[in-house]
C-alpha cells in the first residue's frame, strides 16, 4: 500500500441484542434486558477510549449495526455516540443507526439531537404473510409508521432493507415491496437474496420452506434491479441501490478496502495493514480479547472488494493504491469473461455486469486466481 496522510477511518459498533431471534438469522445477537444493555454500553464506551488511544485516528463514519441497535434506547445510544465523538472527532460524519420497525415510539428527535443523520430500517418485505414466515415482529403498518415518524422528525437519509427470494414471495409481492420503498421516498435500498446459513433454524426446516430454486432466485434479483432502476435507484454495489449522492459512506469504506474499527462480539477491524476481530463472545469482548486475522489491504483483497461495486476497479484507483499500472494479466483474465457477458473491460478499468453480479463469487475467484 502507498504511504500517505492517515485517512479518516470508519467505526462499526455492534449492538448484539434482539427482541426475538429470526429463524433465518445467523448474526451474533441474543435476547437480553436492561442490565445487560447497561453493562454492554459501558464496555463499548471503554473499548472506544482504548482503541482511540491505541491508534490515534479520527473517523468520519459511525455505523450502529446489529442485532437491533434501536432496542437499547435513545439514551444509551446518545451516550455511546458522545463517547465516539469525543475520541474519534466525527466531524461531518455519516452516523447511521439500524432500526427495526416493531418498536413503537422511537425517539427520533432525540436521536437527531445526538447526531444520528442516517437510518437503516429493517423492512424486509411489505407483505404481512412474508413477514410472518420470516418470523419478523412487525407488519407493513408498523413499517409505514416507523418510516413516516422518522421523516416527520427530520430524518432525510433513510435506507430500507429488502429480502429477495423468501418463502412464498412472488414477483408481484416483490414489486409491491419495491413500490413501498419508492412511495415512501427513501433514499437508499439494500436488497439481499435470502441465504440459508447452516447455524439457523431455517436450515433445519429448509425442505419445507418452498424456496425458489436458483434460476428463479436469479430472475427475482434481476427483476428487482430493473424495477429499482426504473424508480431512479442506481445500483452501486451488488445489493445496494441509492438515489444519486446517497450511497452509504460507511459501507463504501469496506468495498474501497479502507480502514475501519469494529467494536463488539463478531465485529471486524482493518487498520494499519492488519485485520482482527472479536469472537462471537461477550466475555472476549469484555476482556478486550481479539483474534488476529493476518495482513490486509493487498492486491487480491482490493480487487475482490472493488469488483462488488458497479464502478468496479478503475485503472486510476489501482495506480493510486499500488503506485503501478493495473497488470495486463488481470485485464486479460477479466476480458476473457466478458465474452460470456460477466464483465466489462474498457479504458477505465474492469467491472462486473448484472449477470456477473449474480455469479460474483465465481467470477471474482476466477479473476484473482
Ligand atoms: S432482527 Fe435482525 S439481527 Fe435480530 S434476529 Fe432478526 S434478522 Fe437477526
Which run of H or of E encompasses 120?
Answer: strand 118-124
**Residue 32 maps to a domain:** yes
Q: Are residues 245 and 332 in the same domain?
A: no
Instruction: Kindly report the backbone phi and psi dihedral angles of residue 344, in degrees, each rounded to the nearest multiple of 5, phi listed first.
Output: -125, 125
Query: For the purposes of burial, counting CB atoms within 10 Å of the CB of 355, is it exposed (0-12), middle (13-18) or buried (19 or more)?
Result: middle
**Residue 84 maps to a domain:** yes
**Residue 204 maps to a domain:** yes
**Cβ density class 300-312: b for 16+ within 10 Å, e for less:** eebbbbbbbbbeb
Nearest to 231 by CA among 194, 177, 165: 177
Q: Are residues 245 and 316 in the same domain?
A: no
Alpha carbons 156 and 60: distance in angstroms, whole number: 19
For residue 4, what pLDDT is reported?
59
Question: Which ligand 1 atom minimizes the distance to the CA of 25?
Answer: 8
Q: Are residues 248 and 324 in the same domain?
A: no
Query: Of 232, 254, 276, which closes a domain?
Result: 254
Query: Of 236, 254, 272, which closes a domain?
Result: 254
Alpha carbons 369 and 354: distance in angstroms, whole number: 21
Which residue in the block uniquely carries the three cell numbers 493495473? 326
Question: Which ligand 1 atom minimizes the distance to the CA of 135?
Answer: 6
- CA 344 – ligand 1 centroid, Å: 36
Q: Look at the chain and report how many structural domains it folds into.
A: 2
Question: Which ligand 1 atom minimizes the distance to the CA of 67?
Answer: 3
Query: Of 254, 272, 301, which closes a domain?
Result: 254
CB under 6 Å to ligand 1: residues?
18, 21-22, 25, 27, 29, 66-68, 100, 122
Quick: pLDDT tens for 207-249.
Answer: 999 899 999 999 999 999 999 999 999 999 999 999 999 999 9
**Which CATH number is 356's domain given?**
1.10.10.920
Residue 2: band (very low, low, confident or very high) from pLDDT cuts 50, 70, 90: very low
Q: Are residues 176 and 325 in the same domain?
A: no
List the residue whose alpha carbon is closest to atom 2 of ligand 1: 67
**How big is the chain by its Cα radius of gyration, in Å?**
21
**Residue 160 maps to a domain:** yes
With vertex at residue 221, the alpha carbon angle to CA 126 and CA 314, rounded to the nearest 5 degrees, is 125
Instruction: Kindly report the backbone phi and psi dihedral angles of residue 126, in degrees, each rounded to the nearest multiple of 5, phi listed first.
Output: -105, 10
Nearest to 25 by CA among 175, 137, 188, 180: 137
Q: How many CB atoms lie within 10 A of CB 208?
A: 9
- CA 139 – ligand 1 centroid, Å: 15
Using a pLDDT cut of 70, give the percent of the chain over it. Answer: 99
**Residue 259 maps to a domain:** no
Nine-digit cell string for 199: 447455524
Q: What DSSP character marks residue 223?
A: H
Task: Render 72-109 in DSSP notation, one character per residue.
Answer: G-HHHHHHHHHHHHHHHEEEEEEEEEEE-TTSSS--HH
Cβ distance 101 to 142 under 8 Å?
yes
For residue 219, what pLDDT is reported?
96
- CA 37 – ligand 1 centroid, Å: 17
- CA 27 – ligand 1 centroid, Å: 7
Q: Are residues 147 and 39 in the same domain?
A: yes
Q: Are residues 89 and 194 in the same domain?
A: yes
Across the chain, what does the average pLDDT equal? 96
List the residue whose alpha carbon is closest to atom 6 of ligand 1: 22
**Residue 113 maps to a domain:** yes
SS3 125: coil
Q: Are residues 104 and 204 in the same domain?
A: yes
Residue 3: band (very low, low, confident or very high) from pLDDT cuts 50, 70, 90: low
Quick: pLDDT tens for 118-174.
Answer: 999 999 999 999 999 999 999 999 999 999 999 999 999 999 999 999 999 999 999
**Residue 304 maps to a domain:** no
**Which CATH number is 142's domain given?**
3.20.20.70
Which run of H or of E encompasses 222?
Answer: helix 214-230
Q: Are residues 118 and 197 in the same domain?
A: yes
State which residues form the domain around 141. Answer: 9-254
Q: Are residues 96 and 235 in the same domain?
A: yes
Which run of H or of E encompasses 229?
Answer: helix 214-230
**Residue 280 maps to a domain:** no
Q: Are residues 179 and 250 in the same domain?
A: yes
* Whether residue 110 has pLDDT greater than 60: yes
Average pLDDT over residues 265-271: 98
Q: Are residues 104 and 22 in the same domain?
A: yes
Give the number of residues written for the chain.
Answer: 369
List the residue whose alpha carbon is closest to atom 7 of ligand 1: 25
Average pLDDT over residues 41-66: 98
Q: Are residues 101 and 246 in the same domain?
A: yes
The most distant pair of C-alpha atoms in the chain lies apart, rounded to whole Å, by 59
Amino acid at each position: 500500500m502507498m504511504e500517505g496522510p492517515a485517512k479518516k477511518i470508519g467505526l462499526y459498533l455492534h449492538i448484539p441484542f434482539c427482541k426475538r431471534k429470526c429463524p433465518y438469522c445467523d448474526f451474533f445477537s441474543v435476547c437480553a434486558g436492561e442490565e445487560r444493555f447497561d453493562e454492554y454500553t459501558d464496555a463499548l464506551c471503554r473499548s472506544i477510549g482504548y482503541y482511540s488511544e491505541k491508534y490515534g485516528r479520527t473517523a468520519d463514519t459511525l455505523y450502529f449495526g446489529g442485532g437491533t441497535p434501536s432496542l437499547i434506547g435513545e439514551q444509551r445510544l446518545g451516550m455511546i455516540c458522545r463517547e465516539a465523538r469525543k475520541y474519534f472527532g466525527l466531524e461531518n460524519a455519516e452516523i447511521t443507526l439500524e432500526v427495526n420497525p416493531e418498536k413503537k415510539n422511537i425517539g427520533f428527535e432525540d436521536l437527531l439531537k445526538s447526531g444520528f443523520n442516517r437510518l437503516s430500517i429493517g423492512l424486509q418485505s411489505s407483505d404481512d404473510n412474508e413477514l410472518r414466515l420470516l418470523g419478523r415482529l412487525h407488519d407493513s403498518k408498523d413499517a409505514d409508521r416507523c418510516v413516516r415518524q422518522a421523516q416527520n422528525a427530520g430524518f432525510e437519509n433513510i435506507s430500507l432493507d429488502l429480502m429477495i427470494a423468501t418463502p412464498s414471495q412472488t414477483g408481484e409481492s416483490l414489486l409491491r415491496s419495491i413500490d413501498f420503498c419508492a412511495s415512501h421516498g427513501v433514499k437508499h435500498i439494500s436488497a439481499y437474496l435470502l441465504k440459508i446459513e447452516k447455524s439457523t433454524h431455517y436450515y433445519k426446516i429448509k425442505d419445507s420452506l418452498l424456496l425458489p430454486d436458483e434460476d428463479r432466485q436469479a430472475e427475482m434479483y434481476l427483476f428487482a434491479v430493473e424495477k429499482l432502476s426504473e424508480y431512479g435507484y442506481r445500483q452501486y454495489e451488488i445489493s445496494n441501490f441509492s438515489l444519486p449522492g446517497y450511497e452509504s459512506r460507511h459501507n463504501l469504506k469496506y468495498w474501497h478496502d479502507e480502514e475501519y474499527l469494529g467494536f463488539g462480539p463478531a465485529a471486524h477491524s482493518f487498520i494499519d495493514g492488519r485485520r482482527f476481530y472479536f469472537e462471537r463472545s461477550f466475555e472476549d469482548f469484555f476482556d478486550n480479547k481479539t483474534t488476529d486475522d493476518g495482513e490486509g489491504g493487498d492486491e487480491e483483497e482490493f480487487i475482490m472488494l472493488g469488483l462488488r461495486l458497479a464502478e468496479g476497479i478503475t485503472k486510476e484507483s489501482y495506480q493510486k493504491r499500488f503506485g503501478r499500472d493495473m497488470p495486463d494479466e488481470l485485464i486479460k483474465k477479466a476480458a476473457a469473461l466478458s465474452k460470456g457477458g460477466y464483465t466489462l473491460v474498457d479504458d477505465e478499468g474492469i467491472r462486473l455486469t448484472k449477470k456477473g453480479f449474480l455469479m460474483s463469487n465465481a467470477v471474482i475467484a476466477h479473476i484473482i486466481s
